[in-house]
Amino acid sequence: MTAPPLIDTHCHLTLLEERGLLDAALEGAASAGVTAMVTIGVNLDDSDRSRAIAESHSNVWFAVGWDPQQAGSPDARQLAALGDLLRHPRAVAVGEVGLDLFFRPGHHDTPVDVQRRSLATMLELAAEHGKPVVIHDRDAHAEVLAELAHVPEVTGVMHCFTGDAAHMRRCIDRGFAVSFSGIVTFARSEPIQQAAASAPDSMYVVETDSPFLAPVPHRGTVNLPQRVADTARRLAELRAVPEHEVRATTTANARRIFRIAA
């Protein structure tokens, strides 16, 4: 039986392009049965480069984002340009956006008030354009949910879910699907694995976050969209179901959430 296709709901093809790996990544994805990818934007320039990749490849869609590590919030000109990108027919989401409270001087030290302002602005943009959002939440579970409470009409995906089963239920109750990355294959990820085992069939998807977070047995290498298959395999083990069921379920969920036609 031919395995159902997979969708990598979160990858950074612009970063793979910078490393000269884009063509190989797309070929590898095709060979692994990954028939669609959502490449994520972290600021205006990155979102526009994501647009260019999506325009050139029929199996790539893109998201328009402003991640919490940006030094400032989008100004009026940038916000207008982000809105223009969201009108593109291959733009399927606002993301990534969110809060990151794991501060690393010299790498990530954006003040929380700036992060909150950026997130609020991007959530309003998502509501205006009727797009789902892809949420970046690092060490900020309660804070992110508090911000989302201001825009009850907005739903989407919790990217690279790192909470436990209780937090997963809170996210799902809020209307957000949870996305599992290669972290779920790591040895010290029991709370995430427990969440993965109990996620409702209709409310979970898979991602790579490539080039980051390569799953076991590739940990420590450059991650690629094709390795979403390793994550799907681990999810099948955790959920005690056949791998083809995880593939079919997550692909159907991704198509529904991001409105990607079959």
pLDDT of the residue at 249:
99
Please state the domain count of the chain.
1
E strands present in the chain: 6-11, 34-39, 60-64, 91-100, 133-138, 156-158, 176-180, 204-206
Q: Is 1 contained in some domain?
A: no
CA distance 225 to 187: 21
What CATH code is carried by the domain that includes residue 62? 3.20.20.140
Task: Name the pairing type of β-strands 204-206 and 176-180.
Answer: parallel
pLDDT of the residue at 105:
82
Q: Is 176 contained in some domain?
A: yes
Q: Is 232 contained in some domain?
A: yes
How many other C-beta atoms can be found within 10 angstroms of the C-beta atom of residue 136? 25
CA distance 225 to 236: 18
Q: Is 91 contained in some domain?
A: yes
CA distance 247 to 262: 14
The domain of 182 spans 6-258
Per-residue pLDDT of the chain (262 residues; tens, 9 = 90+): 789 999 999 999 999 999 999 999 999 999 999 999 999 999 999 999 999 999 999 999 999 999 999 999 999 999 999 999 999 999 999 999 999 999 888 778 999 999 999 999 999 999 999 999 999 999 999 999 999 999 999 999 999 999 999 999 999 999 999 999 999 999 999 999 999 999 999 999 999 999 999 999 999 999 999 999 999 999 999 999 999 999 999 999 999 999 999 8
CA distance 64 to 51: 9
pLDDT of the residue at 262:
84
Q: Is 185 contained in some domain?
A: yes
Specify the pTM: 0.97
Q: Is 164 contained in some domain?
A: yes
Q: Residues 86, 92, 94, 100: is their CA dihedral positive or negative?
A: negative
pLDDT of the residue at 23:
98
Q: Is 136 contained in some domain?
A: yes
Q: Is 202 contained in some domain?
A: yes
